[in-house]
């Protein structure tokens, strides 16, 4: 079964196109200098109309993680159990993604360094995931 | 000090019968809960001229069409868009409307008809950030989202699975004294720890059971309340805060620390003068964060609080005296109303076998989960008036 697919919009298209091109794209505020994710209409830190897209390093740190055993959508049943994490990018923003090669049982991964990879998600669409560095 | 709600009383509380399966319509659940609340107040449906409704599954219907369905003429209307924070927020908005003379009798009602599939379906489309940046990534629903918070809380503060278990076991004991609670068996620590893993570190009994039900309270002007029998309840304070702290889902995933000072200073009381707490218990970790944010213990120490205190209706600090959502069941958006119902039922002395000795209680709400946390937090301090 197909997983939930992103609804690509003018606002978020650079991110999803970036996934297909192997680039982790986030927004950057020229006014306050902060990086922003998820895609916004204005900077949520300073409300300036000064966002533009930039390629992030793909480096990050695990904020927290879980092993999903009961999925929220049948499209994930085949790969469960899997590790799902909140990752703090080196640039600052939080991004949610799977850690496909992380152990589903065992020690805490909080604070572990990770790097972005891009994996098939659906017809013509890749999605960001992370590997333990 | 509580001018904000002067001239307003809560006079009744009631519930629809909770069920795992039922073919009752949403409007029927609201009617049952509303009738029970009005009966407890000694008021008729004809007296209702204000209506606050919260229900996830209601669209394309809405508060006005509920009024039409039930045959109510209303001068005040509210529809909760704040998930499980909406019960308290609707109560506060209605109380201000009564204070200002907009209406005289307001019914605050929530209901939903949920099962696991409906819950997941609703959540998957809850809002843009979940739909685009959590669901396609495989977040595991609300369970996955709060598993992240639970693991982080355990690692930061040294809480153990047993601490969350103590909380769930105490609530189950409370729920066993509530005929409208869906779980009918005691919960042991062994059963809690060995339950099916859902999203590590969460196991089955950390997660609420979606169900069918509804909860309601009735507010009236003091003038109308004076003509009714029995005690009534005053709102000493009611606060809401949203997206607090902005841009930071993992410092504290709720806003109670941001409303605590206003809540108690408006109420003119301290946490030590509170006899019970009805907290939003979608997951034990969020209840811990509410006990901290509402001033019953310092941030990061709720796991020690639950070791030191007995949270049952026989205990020194009763919490979720009807069993909460964890033991009664989560009837969708009524999860944000069940604590309000329970607080009022306790203060009116209508809580039957689970009645605690009380004059003053706190109730809190939490809802509208979005990019990693709930955006809306609410709380109220209520006091019995003889």
- pLDDT one-digit tens code per residue, A27-81: 999 999 999 999 999 999 999 999 999 999 999 999 999 999 999 999 999 999 9
Confidence at residue A126, expressed as pLDDT on a 0 to 100 scale: 98
Domain containing residue B79: CATH number? 3.40.47.10
Angstrom distance (rounded) from CA B192 to CA B194 = 6
CB contact under 8 A, B137 and A98: yes
**With an 8 Å Cβ cutoff, is B208 touching chain A?**
no
Contact B167, B161 (CB under 8 A): no
Q: What is the pLDDT of residues A55-70, one digit of tens each?
A: 999 999 999 999 999 9
Instruction: Please give the average per-residue pLDDT across B196-225, as a whole number.
Output: 98
Across A110-130, average pLDDT? 97
A91 band by pLDDT with thresholds 50, 70 and 90: very high
> Which domain does B30 fall in, by range?
3-116+209-385
- How far is the alpha carbon of A127 from chain B, nearest alpha carbon, in Å? 8
Quick check: A64 and B250 in contact, CB under 8 A?
yes
Q: Interface pTM (ipTM) of the complex?
A: 0.98
Six token digits for residue A28: 């950057």
Q: How confident is the model at residue B334 (pLDDT cuts 50, 70, 90)?
A: very high
Q: Is A45 left (phi over 0), alpha (psi -120 to 50) or beta?
A: alpha
pLDDT averaged over every residue in chain B: 96
Among A45, A97, A105, select the one facing B137 at the smallest CB separation. A97
Report pLDDT for B2: 52
Give CA angle at B27 (B21, B32), nearest 5°: 75
Quick check: A44 and B131 CB within 8 A? no
User: Which pair of structure tokens corresponds to residue A96?
Assistant: 């949610």
Question: Considering the domain boundaries, does residue B158 fall inside one?
Answer: no
- In a mutagenesis test of the B interface, which of A32, A64, A103 is the best target, namely the one with the most B β-carbons within 10 Å? A64
Domain annotation covers residue B183 = no
Q: What is the token pair recorded at A126?
A: 């890749």
B229 pLDDT tier (thresholds 50, 70, 90): very high
Q: Could you tell me the pTM of the whole model?
A: 0.97
| Distance of residue A49 Cα from the nearest chain B Cα, in angstroms | 17
- Give the pLDDT of residue B14: 98
Whether B283 has a pLDDT exceeding 60, the answer reads yes
Percent of chain A with pLDDT over 90: 98
Does B157 fall in a domain? no
Gap between the Cα atoms of B203 and B2, Å rounded: 42
Taking the Cβ of residue B189 and every Cβ of chain A, the question of whether any pair is shorter than 8 Å is answered with no
* Tally of domains in chain B: 1
Q: How far apart are CA B199 and CA A61, in angstroms?
A: 20
β pairing state of B105-113 and B76-79: unpaired
Mean pLDDT of all residues in B309-321: 98
Is B148 part of a structural domain of the chain? Answer: no
Report DSSP state, residue B125: T
SS3 category, A17? helix
Which residue, among A24, A72, A87, would best test binding to B if mutated, counting the most B CBs under 10 Å from its CB? A72
Per-residue pLDDT of B109-166, as tens digits, reads: 999 999 888 888 888 778 999 999 999 999 999 999 999 999 999 999 999 999 999 9
């Amino acid at each position: 079964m197909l997983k939930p697919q992103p609804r690509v919009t003018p606002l978020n298209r650079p991110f999803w196109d970036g996934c297909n091109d192997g680039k982790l794209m986030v927004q950057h505020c020229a006014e306050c200098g902060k990086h922003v994710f998820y895609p916004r209409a204005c900077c949520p830190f300073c409300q300036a109309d000064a966002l533009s897209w930039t390629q992030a390093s793909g480096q990050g740190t695990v904020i927290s993680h879980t092993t999903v055993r009961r999925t929220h959508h049948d499209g994930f049943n085949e790969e469960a159990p899997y590790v799902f994490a909140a990752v703090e990018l080196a640039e600052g923003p939080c991004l949610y993604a799977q850690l496909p090669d992380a152990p589903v049982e065992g020690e805490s991964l909080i604070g572990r360094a990770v790097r972005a990879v891009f994996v098939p998600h659906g017809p013509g669409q890749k999605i960001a995931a992370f590997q333990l560095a | 000090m509580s001018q904000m709600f002067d001239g307003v009383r809560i006079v009744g509380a009631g519930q629809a019968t909770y069920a795992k399966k039922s073919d009752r319509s949403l409007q029927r659940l609201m009617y049952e809960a509303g009738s029970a609340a009005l009966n407890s107040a000694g008021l008729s449906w004809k007296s209702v001229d204000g209506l606050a409704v919260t229900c996830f599954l209601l669209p394309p219907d809405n508060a006005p069409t509920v009024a039409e369905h039930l045959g109510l003429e209303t001068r005040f209307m509210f529809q909760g868009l704040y998930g499980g924070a909406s019960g308290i927020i609707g109560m506060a908005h209605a109380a201000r409307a009564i204070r200002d003379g907009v209406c005289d009798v307001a019914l605050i009602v929530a209901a939903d008809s949920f099962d696991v599939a409906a819950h997941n379906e609703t959540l998957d489309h809850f809002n843009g950030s979940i739909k685009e940046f959590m669901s396609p990534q495989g977040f595991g629903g609300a369970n996955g989202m709060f598993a992240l918070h639970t693991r982080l809380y355990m690692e930061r503060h040294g809480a153990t699975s047993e601490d969350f278990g103590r909380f769930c076991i105490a609530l189950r004991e409370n729920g066993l004294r509530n005929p409208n609670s869906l779980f009918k068996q005691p919960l042991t620590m062994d059963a809690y720890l060995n339950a099916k893993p859902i999203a590590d570190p969460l196991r089955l009994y950390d997660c609420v059971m979606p169900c069918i039900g509804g909860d309601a309270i009735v507010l009236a002007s003091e003038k109308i309340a004076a003509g009714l029998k029995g005690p009534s309840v005053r709102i000493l304070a009611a606060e809401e805060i949203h997206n607090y702290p902005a841009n930071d889902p993992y410092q504290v995933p709720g806003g109670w620390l941001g409303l605590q000072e206003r809540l108690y200073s408006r109420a003119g009381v301290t946490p030590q003068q509170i006899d019970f707490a009805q907290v939003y218990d979608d997951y034990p970790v969020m209840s811990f964060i509410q006990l901290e944010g509402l001033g019953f213990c310092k941030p990061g120490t709720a796991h020690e609080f639950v070791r030191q205190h007995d949270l049952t209706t026989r205990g020194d600090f009763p919490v979720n005296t009807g069993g909460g959502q964890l033991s009664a069941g989560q009837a969708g958006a009524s999860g944000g109303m069940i604590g309000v119902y329970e607080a009022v039922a306790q203060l009116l002395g209508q809580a039957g076998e689970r009645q605690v000795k009380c004059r003053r209680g706190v109730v809190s709400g939490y809802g509208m989960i979005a990019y990693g946390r709930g955006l809306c937090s609410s709380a109220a301090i209520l006091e019995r008036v003889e």
